[in-house]
């Protein structure tokens, strides 16, 4: 007779369309994986058995395979289950078969809702005896016990919850559910079971006379803070000793929708996005991040010198980013659609980050993308419109009349000279006619961008997928600048009884354009009395320079065929296999591959202003084209085993892991020249390589292997301990230091689980924790320790072969940078407050940098370990819920982070570096130079002490190293004036919601740090009067004897030496006069939203509908006025977003 599955038939009818789609996707991504087929049988069609000398337990397993029932076996019947029997049955009902089998083994069964509970059979006399014994039992005797069995499932989709904790509240005994969600436990006659699992609401179930339970657990969105995701394992936060911070997708999106970093800087005070006053709001500029201070040197490297565009190397102080278990780049994270992110975890101390060993010194940011959470189908769309509005409030330039007045005061116009006389009155006439051009606005626009995200989630029993597509175009505040990212992702998973297969494929394409209008600083220099258009309505080719000169107008050349474009395409494929060997033991294999190709093109046509000084001899060289081509391949894999065991009041957790990785990248840069026609905008039309140059580039290779082990022990949910050890080998370091060893120890104490704390009824949660351990840093180019040869391309020493020479000097003793972290903290929840406090101290040794050496060696520099640096500070975060009810809530949050940086030790070689910095400062440098001295900060500002402006003559009065006053600036007189690192940073804000309407706003603040106000130096004292300058030139500079001012007299930059017959440069050098304290408050974000009532939108077929409005970096209040956005203007971002889920 043909057997047919009733259950399978119904499922096909309900989900036929979904099923077909899922099967097609599996074929696409799981080629090579064996297909799994299973036949299910209806109870109504009967059970067939023909077994000889087979254990009762195995017979039950065969019945389970033929039926749609789940068997639950008590723990105390193991001996009876091992009894061997012979059974021959043909098409009998389930109940008949079970009656026959239990009669052979003296067992009983009960069928409840397709679940079969097998337990020990008791005779009537035994029952009466046990009842009598219970009535006359002495007080000190243990109460009678019995066996309870059950099944724990997810309430939403009915999937078994594997590894859930089932504990008897009365005596603390317990067990965990098996791979089918089943459990069996010996309990008192009346008891209460506490069932818990990470990510679910804990349930307590009162047991009376039941023998079988079906317990459903609900997901708990609030538990985002109750677990810690490390990228390798998920740990219960209550029993974890590390210092971490977690944020959900909802928290991130309630702050903003630009990118992850823009949201993080308004959420976590310890995660610092450094200011970039030069690039402002350039959409193509990558952010620079730091976590817990500056730990190593960040000098310009070879990639910057060669103008590479691949972004393959990380900044030395940048944290490690882990996306779905695999290392990723900061560019990938910036271009990632925030709708894909499920949660992030920031690992800060040794106990949390030691598993990443050699790359974790600067902290680790774990990013988890969306997982599958239900059967059936779900479609989510999120669309948005954004505005980038230029903000020029930091600029304070002169208008046309003021500029002309400055030129007169400076003595630019000698009215006895007819040509100067004519130029002055011509400009004055233009001003009187209304010419007052605001050049800053000419290259700017209100950038209008848009973004779209579409996600389709499909799920049916064992097979689930998320397929998403995103498009994001950011239009910058400068005309012609934009960044467009298109991404597609397919996330598939397939689960058998014990094995989970998962594959994530991601393809990202990015195109970016820099503005053809050039640097924004060019427009800040143009004099406001210069007209924009000529008599024909076209941009003028030149603009006026005082007293009688012309400079190229950047607007004229912007309309030429100038090209500054970059693009990359990146493909990621990550494969995961997780095998639940037994409920306590899981093994995971992960394999990842990343392939990235990038290119960059920069073209300037023949007539561009940059070639205006080429003479007839060089006329053929006009026009230039730079082309970069790069590629990167990252191969990585790891295998680890997790073991967890609960034995009464003891919890054991262990992880053993091995990993291997290779990161290989290459980028070639070709500079050419000679393009006679503007339309010839391809490198194939170049006449030659750029003069005195040839193709250049860089090769990067890093091979790594590592082994780690982690052991955690928890006693009675009160006393906590974590121990980690990791060994790493890397090709980046010297032959004598290939291997490095890292470790960590973490201890904790859950005070809230002590009875005396519970009895107080005040403290809901209090955990003391501390850790110590080491980690490393590999954010450097790969050739630091390796001797590399290069070909001598200019000569051939034989008819066929050229020579070679050593390019870099090897250092076999080059050691790993190693950071020793100390951390002590406490987490408290009481009186409605949720508070986290951490004190940290870290010591980084073997600081790595390139040091200049004597050129007679044949090399200019060599990589060396040069010293030791300390960072210490505190971190505090608190949240308080003022009100919470059925219709909404009101909560406030505040976080504070401090950091003090100190150089503990430097090698003798660094003294030579400081000497070279003094020489650099003496060569007419106007910016402070970096110098490093024991006991001071790495961010120390160096300048010569100043007493201010001498009222008698308007010159600056300085103090030399002997304490004497002088008018002469000497680099040897420079002293430390304060650190640019703030003493504290913080965030405070509120979040509220009422009947679907919500508001979220945050303010950032910082204080105690210093800044060298380069704006005052460049725009006022050292300003070239031929160009536009700061208005304070008129109001703040010395003009007459006795006047007390902040700035020197006009005309003091260039003094005519009558003896030599030439001008002498007296520009202002680094002076304490311009070292200013920086205290700042930033209105970071304002989010307004409306989340429609679920019942109201269900009629439209919607699950959720939410409209949001975002404002970011709304206003800045600072004690120091500086120009923000030198090469690219600063902009405010406003955006509107609509999210709909079907």
d(CA 190, CA 168): 10
Joined together, the tokens standing for residue 317 give 């102080």
- 570, 480 contact by CB (below 8 A): no
d(CA 320, CA 316): 10
For the ranges 214-218, 362-366, 624-628, 709-713, which has the lowest average pLDDT?
214-218
636 confidence band (pLDDT: 50, 70, 90): very high
Domains and CATH numbers, the chain: 41-123 (3.55.50.30), 143-219 (2.60.40.1120)
Q: What is the pLDDT of residue 455?
A: 94
Distance of CA 718 to the CA centre of its chain: 33
For the ranges 59-68, 187-196, 338-347, 800-809, which has the lowest average pLDDT?
800-809
Q: What is the pLDDT of residue 900?
A: 95
Residue 1013 pLDDT exceeds 80: yes
Most confident of 154-168, 660-674, 733-747: 660-674
CA 160-163-166 angle, to 5 degrees, is: 95
For the ranges 716-720, 756-760, 838-842, which has the lowest average pLDDT?
756-760
d(CA 534, CA 537): 5
Taking only the tens place, the pLDDT of each residue in 444-455 is 999 999 999 999
Q: What is the pLDDT of residue 545?
A: 82
Taking only the tens place, the pLDDT of each residue in 192-218 is 888 887 667 788 888 877 778 888 887
Residue 129 pLDDT exceeds 60: no
Q: What is the pLDDT of residue 42?
A: 36
Average pLDDT over residues 359-364: 92
Q: What is the pLDDT of residue 1105?
A: 93
857 confidence band (pLDDT: 50, 70, 90): low
Give bridge partners of residue 47 from the DSSP assignment.
92
Q: What is the pLDDT of residue 35?
A: 34
Joined together, the tokens standing for residue 533 give 């258009």
Residue 296 pLDDT exceeds 70: yes
Taking only the tens place, the pLDDT of each residue in 40-70 is 333 345 788 888 888 888 888 888 877 767 7
* Residue 1071 Cα distances to 257, 269, 974, 1065, 1067, angstroms: 42, 31, 8, 16, 11
* Residue 363 Cα distances to 478, 704, 777, angstroms: 35, 19, 10
Taking only the tens place, the pLDDT of each residue in 737-747 is 888 899 999 99
Average pLDDT over residues 938-951: 93
Most confident of 62-71, 343-352, 1064-1073: 343-352
- 577, 30 contact by CB (below 8 A): no
712 confidence band (pLDDT: 50, 70, 90): very high
CA 670-671-676 angle, to 5 degrees, is: 130
Give the count of beta carbons closer than 10 Å to the beta carbon of residue 672: 21
Could you give phi then psi for residue 507, rounded to 5 degrees? -125, 125
Taking only the tens place, the pLDDT of each residue in 867-890 is 899 999 999 999 999 988 778 889
860 confidence band (pLDDT: 50, 70, 90): low
Could you give phi then psi for residue 753, rounded to 5 degrees? -90, 0
Higher pLDDT, 328 or 85: 328
Percent of the chain with pLDDT over 90: 47
Higher pLDDT, 884 or 470: 470
Q: What is the pLDDT of residue 98?
A: 84
CA 553-558-561 angle, to 5 degrees, is: 135
39 confidence band (pLDDT: 50, 70, 90): very low
Mean model confidence pLDDT for the chain: 84
1094 confidence band (pLDDT: 50, 70, 90): confident
- 700, 781 contact by CB (below 8 A): yes
Residue 156 pLDDT exceeds 90: no
Residue 734 pLDDT exceeds 80: no
Average pLDDT over residues 1122-1129: 90
Joined together, the tokens standing for residue 722 give 């974590």
Q: Which residue has the tokens 């509005």?
A: 389
Could you give phi then psi for residue 95, rounded to 5 degrees? -60, -40
Does the predicted model carry a pTM greater than 0.75?
Answer: yes
Q: What is the pLDDT of residue 14?
A: 39
38 confidence band (pLDDT: 50, 70, 90): very low
Residue 131 pLDDT exceeds 70: no
Q: Kindly state the helix (H) or strand (E) to which residue 332 belongs, with its residue range.
A: helix 330-334
Give bridge partners of residue 600 from the DSSP assignment.
566, 628
Cis-peptide into 125, omega within 30 deg: no
**Which of 1067, 1070, 1046 minimizes the C-alpha distance to 941?**
1070
Proportion of the chain in helix, strand, coil states, percent, rounded to 5 = 20, 45, 35
Taking only the tens place, the pLDDT of each residue in 582-607 is 988 999 999 999 999 999 999 999 98
Joined together, the tokens standing for residue 1006 give 């910082």
Q: What is the pLDDT of residue 451?
A: 96
Higher pLDDT, 1029 or 123: 1029
For the ranges 180-184, 452-456, 562-566, 640-644, which has the lowest average pLDDT?
180-184
Joined together, the tokens standing for residue 130 give 């046990």
Q: What is the pLDDT of residue 624?
A: 95
Q: What is the pLDDT of residue 870?
A: 95
Percent of the chain with pLDDT over 70: 87
Residue 761, SS3?
coil
Burial class (CB in 10 A: 0-12, 13-18, 19+), 407: buried
Taking only the tens place, the pLDDT of each residue in 957-971 is 999 999 999 988 988
């Amino acid at each position: 007779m043909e057997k047919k599955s009733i259950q399978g038939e119904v499922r096909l009818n309900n989900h036929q369309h979904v099923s077909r789609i899922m099967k097609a996707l599996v074929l696409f991504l799981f080629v090579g994986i064996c297909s799994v087929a299973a036949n299910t049988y209806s109870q109504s069609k009967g059970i067939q058995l023909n077994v000889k000398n087979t254990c009762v337990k195995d017979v039950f397993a065969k019945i389970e395979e033929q039926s749609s029932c789940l068997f639950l076996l008590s723990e105390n019947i193991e001996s009876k289950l091992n009894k061997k029997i012979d059974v021959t049955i043909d098409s009998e009902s389930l109940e008949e078969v079970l009656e026959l089998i239990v009669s052979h083994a003296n067992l009983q069964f009960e069928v409840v809702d397709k679940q079969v509970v097998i337990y020990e059979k008791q005779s009537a006399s035994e029952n009466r005896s046990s009842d009598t014994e219970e009535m006359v039992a002495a007080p000190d005797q243990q109460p009678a016990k019995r066996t309870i069995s059950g099944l724990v499932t997810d309430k939403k989709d009915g999937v078994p919850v594997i590894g859930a904790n089932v504990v008897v509240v009365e005596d603390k005994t317990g067990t965990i559910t098996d791979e089918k969600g089943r459990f069996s436990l010996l309990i008192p006659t009346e008891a209460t079971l506490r069932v818990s699992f990470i990510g679910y609401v804990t349930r307590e179930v009162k047991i009376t006379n039941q023998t079988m339970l079906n317990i459903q657990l609900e997901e708990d969105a609030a538990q985002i803070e109750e677990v810690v995701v490390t990228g390798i394992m998920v740990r219960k936060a209550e029993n974890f000793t590390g210092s971490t911070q977690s944020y959900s997708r909802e928290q991130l999106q309630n702050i903003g929708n630009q990118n992850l970093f823009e949201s993080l800087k308004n959420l976590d005070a310890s995660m610092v996005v450094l200011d970039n006053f030069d690039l402002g709001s350039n959409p193509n500029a990558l952010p620079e991040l730091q976590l817990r201070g500056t730990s190593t040197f960040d000098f310009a490297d070879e990639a910057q010198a060669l103008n590479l565009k691949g972004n393959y190397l990380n900044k030395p102080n940048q944290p490690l980013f882990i996306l779905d278990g695999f290392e990723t780049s900061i560019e990938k994270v910036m271009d990632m659609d925030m709708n894909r992110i499920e949660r992030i975890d920031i690992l800060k101390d040794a106990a949390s980050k030691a598993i990443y060993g050699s790359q974790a010194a600067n902290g680790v940011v774990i990013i988890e993308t969306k997982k599958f959470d239900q059967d059936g189908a779900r479609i989510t769309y999120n669309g948005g419109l954004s505005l980038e509005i230029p903000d020029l409030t930091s600029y304070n330039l002169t208008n046309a009349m003021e500029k002309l007045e400055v030129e007169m005061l400076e003595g630019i116009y000698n009215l006895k000279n007819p040509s100067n006389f004519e130029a002055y009155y011509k400009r004055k006439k233009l001003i009187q006619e209304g010419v007052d051009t605001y050049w800053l606005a000419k290259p700017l626009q209100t950038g209008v961008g848009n973004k779209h995200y579409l996600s389709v989630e499909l799920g049916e029993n064992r097979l689930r997928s998320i397929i998403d597509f995103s498009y994001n175009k950011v239009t910058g505040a400068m005309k012609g600048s934009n960044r467009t990212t298109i991404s597609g992702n397919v996330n598939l998973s397939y689960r058998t009884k014990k094995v989970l297969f998962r594959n994530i494929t991601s393809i990202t394409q990015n195109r970016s354009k820099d503005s053809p209008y050039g640097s924004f600083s060019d427009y800040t220099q143009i004099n406001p009395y210069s007209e924009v258009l000529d008599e024909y309505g076209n941009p003028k080719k030149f603009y006026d320079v005082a007293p009688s000169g012309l400079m190229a107008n950047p607007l004229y050349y912007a309309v030429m065929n100038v090209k500054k474009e970059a693009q990359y395409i990146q493909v990621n494929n990550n494969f995961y296999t997780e095998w639940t060997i037994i409920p306590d033991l899981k093994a995971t294999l992960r394999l990842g591959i990343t392939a990235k190709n990038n290119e960059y093109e920069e073209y300037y046509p023949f007539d561009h202003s940059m070639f205006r000084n080429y003479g007839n001899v060089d006329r053929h060289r006009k026009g230039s084209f730079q082309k970069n081509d790069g590629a990167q391949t990252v191969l990585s894999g790891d295998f680890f085993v997790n073991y967890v065991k609960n034995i009464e009041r003891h919890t054991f957790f262990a992880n053993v892991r091995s990993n291997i990785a290779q990161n290989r990248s290459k980028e070639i840069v070709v500079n050419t020249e000679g393009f006679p026609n503007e339309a010839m905008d391809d490198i194939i039309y170049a006449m030659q390589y750029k003069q005195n140059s040839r193709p250049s580039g860089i090769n990067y290779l890093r091979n790594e292997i590592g082994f780690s082990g982690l052991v955690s022990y928890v006693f009675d949910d009160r006393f906590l301990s974590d121990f980690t050890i990791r060994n790493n080998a890397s090709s980046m370091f010297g032959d004598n230091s290939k291997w490095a060893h890292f470790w960590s120890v973490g201890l904790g104490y859950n005070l809230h689980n002590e009875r005396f704390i519970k009895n107080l009824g005040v403290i809901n949660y209090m955990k003391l924790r501390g850790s110590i351990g080491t980690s490393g840093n590999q954010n450097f180019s790969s050739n630091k320790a390796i001797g590399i040869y290069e070909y001598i391309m200019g000569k051939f020493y034989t008819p066929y072969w050229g020579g070679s020479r050593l390019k870099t000097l090897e250092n076999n003793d080059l050691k790993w940078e190693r950071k020793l972290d100390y951390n002590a903290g406490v987490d408290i929840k009481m009186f409605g407050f949720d508070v986290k406090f951490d004190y940290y101290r870290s010591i980084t040794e073997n600081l790595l940098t390139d040091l200049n050496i004597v050129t007679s060696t044949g090399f200019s520099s060599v990589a060396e370990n040069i010293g030791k640096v300390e960072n210490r500070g505190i971190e505090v975060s608190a949240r308080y819920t003022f009100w919470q009810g059925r219709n909404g809530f009101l909560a406030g949050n505040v976080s504070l982070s401090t950091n003090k940086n100190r150089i503990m030790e430097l090698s003798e070689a660094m003294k030579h570096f400081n000497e070279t910095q003094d020489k650099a400062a003496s060569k007419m440098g106007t910016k402070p130079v970096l110098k490093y001295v024991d006991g001071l900060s790495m961010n120390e500002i160096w300048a010569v002490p100043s007493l201010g402006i001498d009222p008698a003559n308007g010159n600056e009065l300085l103090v030399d190293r002997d304490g004497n006053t002088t008018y002469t600036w000497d680099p040897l007189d420079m002293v430390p004036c304060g650190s640019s690192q703030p003493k504290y940073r913080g965030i405070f804000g509120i979040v509220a919601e009422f009947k679907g309407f919500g508001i979220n706003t945050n303010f950032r603040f910082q204080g105690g740090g210093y800044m060298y106000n380069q704006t005052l130096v460049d725009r006022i004292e050292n300003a070239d009067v031929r160009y536009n300058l700061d208005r304070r030139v008129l109001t703040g500079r010395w003009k007459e004897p006795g006047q007390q001012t902040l700035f020197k007299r006009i005309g003091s930059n260039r003094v005519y030496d009558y003896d030599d017959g030439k001008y002498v440069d007296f520009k202002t050098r680094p002076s304490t006069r311009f070292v200013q304290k920086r205290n700042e408050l930033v209105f970071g974000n304002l989010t307004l939203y409306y989340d429609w009532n679920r019942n109201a939108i269900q009629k439209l077929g919607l699950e959720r509908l939410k409209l949001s409005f975002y404002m970011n970096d709304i206003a800045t209040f600072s004690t120091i006025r500086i120009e923000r956005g030198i090469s690219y203007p600063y902009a405010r971002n406003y955006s509107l977003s609509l999210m709909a889920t079907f």
